[in-house]
Amino acid sequence: MFHFDRRLLQHFDWVMLLMVLLVGAMALINLYSSTHIPDRGASSIFYKQLLFFGTGLVIVLVVLTQEYQKIAKMGYVLYGIILVLLVYTLLFVNPIAGSQRWIDLGFFNLQPSEPTKLALILVLASCYANLDVPNGYRLRDLIKPGILILCPFVLIAKQPDLGTALICAIIFVSLTLYVRLRWSTLAILSTTALGCTFVGWKFLLKEYQRKRIETFLNPEADIMNHGYQIMQSKIAVGSGNIFGKGFLEGTQGHLQFLPERHTDFAFAVWAEEWGFAGSVFFLSCYFFMIVWGINVALSAKDKCGSILAFGCTMLIFWQAVINLCMIMGFLPVVGVPLPIFSYGGSSLLTNMAAIGLIMSVRMRSFPPSPASS
Amino acid sequence: MKNLRRLNRKKGEPLFNAERAKDTGVTRLPKRDESDLSGYRKKALYSFVVIIAFFAIIVARLWFLQVEQGEYYNQLADSNRVRSIDIAAPRGNIYDSKGREIVTNRPSFNVVWIRESNKINDEWLKRLTRLLKQDSATLLEKIRKMAGTPGHIPVRLAEDIDWETVARIENNRMYLPEIKIEVVPLRIYHYGNLASHLIGYMGEINKTELDKADKAIYRGGDLIGKMGLERLREEDLRGEKGSNNMEVNALGFEQQNLKDIEPKPGRDLYLTIDVDLQKIAEEEMAAKNWAGAVVAMEANTGRLLAVASAPQLHLDEFVGGISQKAWQAMLDNPLHPLINKVVQGQYPPGSTYKPVTAFAGLAEGVVTPDTPVFCPGSMRFGNRTYRCWKRGGHGTVTLKRALAESCDVYFYTVGLKLGVDRLARYARMFGLGERTGVEMEHEKSGIVPSSEWKKKRYNVKWHEGETLSIAIGQGYDLTTPLQVAQMTAVIANGGTLYKPAVVEKVIDADGGEVNVFQPEVISRIPGQGRNLKLVREGMVEAVNSRRGTGREAQIDEQHGIIVGGKTGTAQVVRLAQYMHLKEEDIPYEYRDHAWFTCFAPAANPEIVVTVLVEHGLHGGTASAPIAAKILNRYFEKKFAGQAEAKTTPASRPAGRVILHQEMIENTDPPPLDDPEEGGREMDATPQLNELPH
């Protein structure tokens, strides 16, 4: 039966909750601005996201009530379901804008590649926590985690959704580096990775993906097509100046020069309207949230908790970094949302669940009370 | 409780949580966890460094974009959102001398594509082709033509669409996001094709014109004057474009209107042309489906009151670019509608040249008004016989009768006495052989032959026999109808050569006069008033005496307006096979051109009218009646105007009446068989066969 430890409440992670609420509030303010219809107020997108955010908070609560070790074990079930959904998407879903990402559930377009990230963290945490090898992992110890990452990676890359596939890969790499590796394993792996990158560029990337990367390297040469998004995003950010154009006053966003302004490029709208000052405030919240997440990973009482917290933090961190770099013209346009900030139900709920996991680890970091056992 | 306090402390220093757990020894964590957790701590610190590094880079980048380069991106954002689209300036109107509108503007509706996405979407293209009832190939061709131009310039897909189509497109607004209706002033011709050669037409600027034009003023797709005054007065008429500045979104939709710059309308042109006279000229020519030219000019100023080239150009065929088929049809038309015959048609002046010969003879003293010449019907010179148009001969003639009855032999005689070079010198005094400089395009200069000219042109010596042809306006002589009118004006006004003008004044959009016509004297013939008067008297005879060749030009008994004039026949070709045919059996293109040039009132000429009917056979019958109609209208209007101004009849210049009586007295009516000038006067000039016509 459900057993409630009073200390759970005492150790409730108010810091993370505060950060999430702050970021969430900014996200909603920004979403209102980027999607509102002049003279008519908020768009349906705004209310939808508000609903998602509420749902996200409920998910946080649900995750909190469960032992994260249990959740990690359940990860395999989630992982299995998601693999099925990913295969289903590839086989039966009609492509939207050239890729098969969404499953229409009627009330909600599920993007199974989003929860994949979380499922991956869960199964990897569970796997690494239970795999104990003295002096660090050998190459053969990585076969199982390798397979765990490869299945969803291939399926997602096939959609094609390079951004999400990339995030999955980075999370895998981060987690694997976080646990103990032998030096020899590390050397072999990094050599292989370099080789794969080369082969992938040469043979596996689709033409448009390669084009995106090439364009990124020289965006001004191709302004009307692939460079357009990066250019417009940079203009939006740059024209924000120090204090921004003000709420609802951004021209790049409202005049629709900015592509994907409520999803992947949401931060550009923020930067345009709130300027350098607002952006730095926003980034500080983010930074604090991530650093707090690392702190939680450190304070975890067991391996599983630490890996989980670290994985979830890295999930948020890498998505944020890739998204921000893309918006500011450091990276090519890959479809990676800014966690909690970008519009999108699948992404928001996934990230909220990740936050819930971090909070759960935090709350359970104290030693088990003698009374409970 | 103790536990709780300890845990509270832990919360404050979480980084040391793992170590603390180890130190206290209270933990029941398995041992392996402890060793790995300490390893995690190191990794976590590494990741901490990575996180800080990335955030530092991002903040630095933000600083660079928003603060360092903020101004630059501000400008980019502005140029993104602000678009300016040209507003065509209303072109200047064209009025006649009485202020009647000949050409003005009306709004026309064009369908334009704003190339914001720069992608042709099949869906709207299909919809548009259906709405416009055009095929997509036509639309695509228009898009292709604009391929090289800057993206924010709209592509014109259809021009001057009707109201119904405008409404249909507006109804489909939602489905045609980048399609707009553009309102552009378009020319409206209140008198149809009236004076079409003079006024010209407009068309879309072509690549060559665009390359030459000022890029600040013209853009692809602009309309520009292509011919006539529309082209020559382009600078006056075009005005200055305005611009519609607006904030647009990425799809090019106007979001907000910013400050517009109003276009500045073009200047209005007031012509010297009188629509009434112009209409008569063109209607008369059109009624008989004649090709030719009609010129009416003020004798004492050079103002052109009517300049008609028949047949008219169909201006509507030129709107929006003429089709190859229509163009070819015009080229193939035997009436040559494309040629402005007033200045581009060169014809031998025929007998209209005789007043010049007569004047030269008088001025040089080789004849006096009373010098008699016997005309037996032909003249022998060298080993050739040069015939008079009247086979039976005129008997003994003096200057006046020679002009009145167009006696060839008399002028052969005068011409021989003068020689070709002296004759040429006088011809030039009348403006012949020289472009008049009127504002019309591609004006021809005509030819006044001289021995020097022939040497230069053909490298052959002048034969004196050729002088005989020249003296009667045949041979190498070539003139344009405008030159003949100008020549007549010099005779009429007593020796002043005026430059013909078509523009009375240019008025600015705000009503200021930019330019007002001033008569422009090219040259004067000094001290020859008497001789010119003698020539005039001869021409008055030609119209008014019983055997005069231009009797059809008599007008207006009640006002007593006396007309002086001269008929002429220009031989097109002399072929023996047609010589004995009846005139109406001769193929059209071999029939002679018919001239008539005149002035009125005889005593104090105000107006000169010259009519040329191509292949019209006889000046007296084909051309003179048209001149008479124009004169009639001119004087009717004039007296109507005077009556309105409550002017008493006494104010009419008395001189006219006196001269009138004088004329009648001086008219000696010798009995003659054929009152009409014949068409065969150039029988005497066999060398004409080789001449250009």
B133 Rama class: left (phi>0) / alpha (psi -120 to 50) / beta: left
- If pLDDT is split at 50, 70 and 90, which confidence band does B666 have? very low
User: CB distance B44–A294 less than 8 Å?
Assistant: yes
Look over chain A and give the mean of its residue pLDDT values, rounded to a whole number. 85
Q: How much is the pLDDT for B148?
A: 66
- If pLDDT is split at 50, 70 and 90, which confidence band does B36 have? low
Q: Is domain B276-310+337-505+522-690 in CATH 3.30.750.24, yes or no? A: no
A127 pLDDT exceeds 50? Answer: yes
Closest Cα in chain A to B256: A255
Q: How much is the pLDDT for B229?
A: 92
Q: How much is the pLDDT for A190?
A: 87
More confident residue, B268 or B247: B268
Interface test with A, best of B16, B47, B78, B82 (most A CBs within 10 A): B47
User: CB distance B51–A317 less than 8 Å?
Assistant: yes
User: CB distance A242–B249 less than 8 Å?
Assistant: no
Q: How much is the pLDDT for B118?
A: 65
Interface test with B, best of A223, A298, A358 (most B CBs within 10 A): A298
- Distance between B172 CA and the closest CA of chain A, angstroms: 22
User: CB distance A321–B77 less than 8 Å?
Assistant: no
Structural domain spans, chain A? 6-35+42-363
- Measured CA to CA, the distance from residue B37 to residue A302 in angstroms comes to 7
Of A292-296, A333-337, A347-351, the least confident = A333-337
Nearest residue to B572 via CA among B413, B650, B460, B685 = B685
B89 pLDDT exceeds 70? Answer: yes
Q: How much is the pLDDT for B23?
A: 45
Q: How much is the pLDDT for B8?
A: 43
- Distance between A358 CA and the closest CA of chain B, angstroms: 14
ipTM: 0.90
Contacts of A134 in chain B (CB under 8 A): none
- Measured CA to CA, the distance from residue A356 to residue A13 in angstroms comes to 10
Tokens 């948020």, located at residue = A316
E strand or H helix at A113: helix A113-130
Q: How much is the pLDDT for A372?
A: 44
Nearest residue to B219 via CA among B155, B140, B138 = B155
DSSP string, B232-292: HTHHHHH-B-EEEEEEE-TT--EEEE---BPPBPPPEEEES--HHHHHHHHHHHHHTT--E
Phi, psi torsion values for B202, nearest 5 degrees = -120, 160
Two tokens at B583? Answer: 């005139």
CA B149 centroid distance within chain: 29
A201 pLDDT exceeds 70? Answer: yes
Q: pLDDT of B305-317, one tens digit each?
A: 999 998 888 877 7
Nearest residue to A327 via CA among A233, A253, A263 = A233
Q: Residue range A73-102: average pLDDT?
A: 84
User: CB distance A290–B65 less than 8 Å?
Assistant: no
DSSP string, A162-229: HHHHHHHHHHHHHHHHHS-B-HHHHHHHHHHHHHHHHHIIIIIS-HHHHHHHHHHHSGGGGTTTHHHH
Q: How much is the pLDDT for B32?
A: 43
A56 pLDDT exceeds 90? Answer: yes
> Out of A132, A241, A287, whose CB is closest to B74?
A241
Q: pLDDT of B234-244, one tens digit each?
A: 999 988 888 77
B678 pLDDT exceeds 60? Answer: no
* Angstrom distances, CA of residue B626 to CA of A70, B65, B484, B598: 113, 81, 16, 11
Structural domain spans, chain B? 2-65, 83-270, 276-310+337-505+522-690
- If pLDDT is split at 50, 70 and 90, which confidence band does B114 have? confident
Over pLDDT 90: what percentage of chain B?
31
- If pLDDT is split at 50, 70 and 90, which confidence band does A356 have? very high
Nearest residue to B424 via CA among B386, B454, B391, B457 = B454
Contacts of A316 in chain B (CB under 8 A): none
Closest Cα in chain A to B255: A255
- Measured CA to CA, the distance from residue A358 to residue A366 in angstroms comes to 14
Q: pLDDT of B119-176, one tens digit each?
A: 777 788 888 888 888 888 888 888 887 776 656 667 888 888 888 888 888 888 778 8
CA within 13 Å, CB half, A49: 26
Q: How much is the pLDDT for A136?
A: 79
Of A169-173, B57-61, B71-75, B217-221, the least confident = B217-221
B33 pLDDT exceeds 80? Answer: no
Contacts of A255 in chain B (CB under 8 A): 80-81, 247-250, 255
More confident residue, B295 or A331: B295
Look over chain B and give the mean of its residue pLDDT values, rounded to a whole number. 80
A223 pLDDT exceeds 50? Answer: no
User: CB distance A303–B33 less than 8 Å?
Assistant: yes
Pair B465, B384: CB distance under 8 Å: yes
Task: Report angle CA A295, A297, A302 to the nearest 5 degrees.
Answer: 135
B45 pLDDT exceeds 90? Answer: no
Contacts of B23 in chain A (CB under 8 A): none
User: CB distance B21–A180 less than 8 Å?
Assistant: no
Neighbours of B331 (CB within 10 A): 10
Helix A113-130 and helix A143-158: axis angle, to 10°? 180
Q: pLDDT of B474-533, one tens digit each?
A: 888 999 999 999 999 999 999 899 999 999 999 998 888 888 888 899 999 888 888 999
More confident residue, A223 or B350: B350
Q: Which of residues 206-225 of A touch B (CB under 8 A)?
A: 224
The third-level CATH classification (topology) of the domain covering B83-270 is Penicillin-binding protein 2a (Domain 2) (3.90.1310)
Which residues in A251-284 are b (16+ Cβ under 10 Å) and which e? bbbbbbbbbbbbbbbbbbbbbbbbbbebbbebbe
- If pLDDT is split at 50, 70 and 90, which confidence band does B4 have? very low
- Mapping DSSP to helix (H, G, I), strand (E, B) and coil, where does residue B373 land? strand
Which strands, in side-by-side order, build the sheet including B607-613? Answer: B304-310, B292-298, B607-613, B593-600, B564-570
Most confident of A55-59, A298-302, B246-250, B547-551: A55-59
- Distance between A91 CA and the closest CA of chain B, angstroms: 29
More confident residue, A60 or B263: A60
A112 pLDDT exceeds 50? Answer: yes
Contacts of B150 in chain A (CB under 8 A): none
Q: pLDDT of B403-448, one tens digit each?
A: 998 899 999 999 999 999 999 999 999 999 999 999 999 999 999 9
Q: How much is the pLDDT for B383?
A: 85
More confident residue, A162 or A148: A148
**Is A207 exposed, middle or buried (CB count within 10 Å of its CB: 0-12, 13-18, 19+)?**
exposed
B246 pLDDT exceeds 80? Answer: no
Q: How much is the pLDDT for A218?
A: 55
Q: How much is the pLDDT for B579?
A: 63
A302 pLDDT exceeds 80? Answer: yes
Q: Residue range B448-467: average pLDDT?
A: 89
Contacts of B14 in chain A (CB under 8 A): 295-296, 298-299, 365
- If pLDDT is split at 50, 70 and 90, which confidence band does B687 have? very low
